[in-house]
Amino acid sequence: MSRSPRARRHRLTAATAAACTAAALTAATALWNHDGGAAGAQLTSTQETATLSTWADIEQPEEATAVEDDFFQPPDPLPAGEPGDIIRAEPADAFTDALRVGRFPADVWRVMYLSTDALGEPMAVTATVMAPTAPWEGGGERPLVAYAIGTHGIGDHCAPSNGLEQGLEYEASLMERYVDDGYALVVTDYEGFGTPGDHTFMVGRSQGPAVLDSLRAATRLDEAGISPDAPMGVNGFSQGGGSAVWAAQLHPEYAPELPLVGVAAGAVPADLHQVAEFLDGGTYFSLMSLAAIGLSSAYPELPLEERMTDDGAELMDTLRDSCTVDAIPHGMFRTMDGITTAELLNSPEWQARLAENLPGGTAPTVPLFMYHSALDDAIPMGQAEELRDTYCAAGANVQWRRTYSGSHVMSLFIDHDRAHDWMADRFAGEPTNSTC
């Protein structure tokens, strides 16, 4: 199969431009200070300033927005059907910039579809589906990519279908590259993002099915004309990297009919306990708090509110209505001990659910590309390397790449090219080069 992508339009969002501006500082400092044996590294003050400045330059979706309309309210009871079946769909808009000048070169729909939550029960999830307007110029069926978003916060207005509608989706420039290459695209909102309830942030057993079922839903949207036999891929970074490896791992049993050809996963938060220890007391403590909310939402037996101090309860209430940029400053340098009245994450019930959401129990049967910056300041690299080793030992086809691109947000934008090109090679039928 020959690859003949359309010429790309190099359009930078505000987030990408900010990342590239700050990268000159962070990447240079990373290379100078890198310790090759470190599993993860804290940022220097220069890098931290650049990182926070980059986040501050990212505009957030407004609260009085599309997610407030009836489309995002699932029918009660849910209709009978199979995972991936569409509950409803309607045409939508997707923009690449805040002025809403740049449109994705595609026909766009928002959809609500059936999926499966962490307890194995049916749930409704929303997503955005894009079918390029230009004819597919490659061989065979037009490929389909599931783009698993990274951390957006948990406020309903932060959902990607809302950010795309407003031109305020900070990963839009990365999504657009796939559409520019002629691939169909589906972007899930995950559970509880726009739809009722708290978003189950970092719960792999909810996020993995949501991603796989978004691929099913895209092929069941007749208007989009996406073949169920099309070669498919999954791409994700950070939260999306965790979603991607769970999609890869669950694929053989949960959705074996999907013709996945590859999964690219960056900055994977595989071991949530190790990630929590890394975040506790640091710049990104809010991400740890969001994960606590997400796990408690997915598993009702997990105590949360009753173990919060007054300050902790106030922080959690604030985070529930926040996108990432707003959430980070509220939690900076706090500790879990400082916002709870009793042991939380190390309690038996929490440890059991954390163990359930530790990937590695079975090996993916599709090629997997994993990458991580050695100076990631949010997700320690060592625990991702442990997952790589586990998959390799189980016989998976894994290509691993350590980068030196700087902080977490720098890696998102700088390292995406490699993941994108790796996926394009899978669609072109190129052989993989496992580093196991």
Band of pLDDT at residue 58, cut at 50, 70 and 90: low
Q: What pLDDT score was predicted for residue 303?
A: 84
Percent of the chain with pLDDT over 70: 85
Average pLDDT of the segment spanning 315-339: 95
Strands 106-116 and 122-132: antiparallel
- pLDDT digit string, tens, across residues 230-275: 999 999 999 999 999 999 999 999 999 999 999 999 999 999 999 9
Q: What pLDDT score was predicted for residue 38?
A: 36
Q: What pLDDT score was predicted for residue 50?
A: 52
In the three-class reduction of DSSP (H, G, I as helix; E, B as strand; rest coil), residue 126 is classed as strand
351 vs 347: CA distance, rounded Å = 6
Average pLDDT of the segment spanning 400-419: 97
Residue 19 has pLDDT above 60, yes or no: no
Residue 8 has pLDDT above 60, yes or no: no
Backbone angles phi, psi at 123, to 5 degrees: -145, 160
Q: What pLDDT score was predicted for residue 345?
A: 86
Q: What pLDDT score was predicted for residue 217?
A: 98
Q: What pLDDT score was predicted for residue 15?
A: 43
Q: What pLDDT score was predicted for residue 10?
A: 38
Residue 174 has pLDDT above 90, yes or no: yes
Q: What pLDDT score was predicted for residue 69?
A: 74
Q: Which residues pair with 334 in a beta bridge?
A: none
Of 46-60, 116-130, 156-170, where does mean pLDDT reach its minimum?
A: 46-60
Backbone angles phi, psi at 91, to 5 degrees: -60, 150
Check: pTM over 0.85? Answer yes or no. Answer: yes
Q: What pLDDT score was predicted for residue 34?
A: 36
Of 55-59, 281-285, 431-435, where does mean pLDDT reach its minimum?
A: 55-59
Q: What pLDDT score was predicted for residue 33?
A: 33
Q: What pLDDT score was predicted for residue 27?
A: 38
Percent of the chain with pLDDT over 90: 82
Residue 31 has pLDDT above 80, yes or no: no
Residue 63 has pLDDT above 70, yes or no: no
- pLDDT digit string, tens, across residues 161-171: 999 999 999 99
Q: Which residue from 314, 316, 311 is spatially nearest to 339, judged by alpha carbons?
A: 311
Written as one letter, the residue type at 268 is V
Cα→Cα distances 143→1, 89, 97, 299, 426, Å? 12, 21, 25, 35, 10
Of 8-12, 175-179, 316-320, 364-368, where does mean pLDDT reach its minimum?
A: 8-12
CB neighbours of residue 17 within 10 Å: 14
Of 23-27, 293-297, 393-397, 417-421, where does mean pLDDT reach its minimum?
A: 23-27
Q: What pLDDT score was predicted for residue 67?
A: 59
Residue 39 has pLDDT above 60, yes or no: no
321 vs 309: CA distance, rounded Å = 19
Q: What pLDDT score was predicted for residue 51?
A: 53
354 vs 346: CA distance, rounded Å = 10
CB neighbours of residue 121 within 10 Å: 9
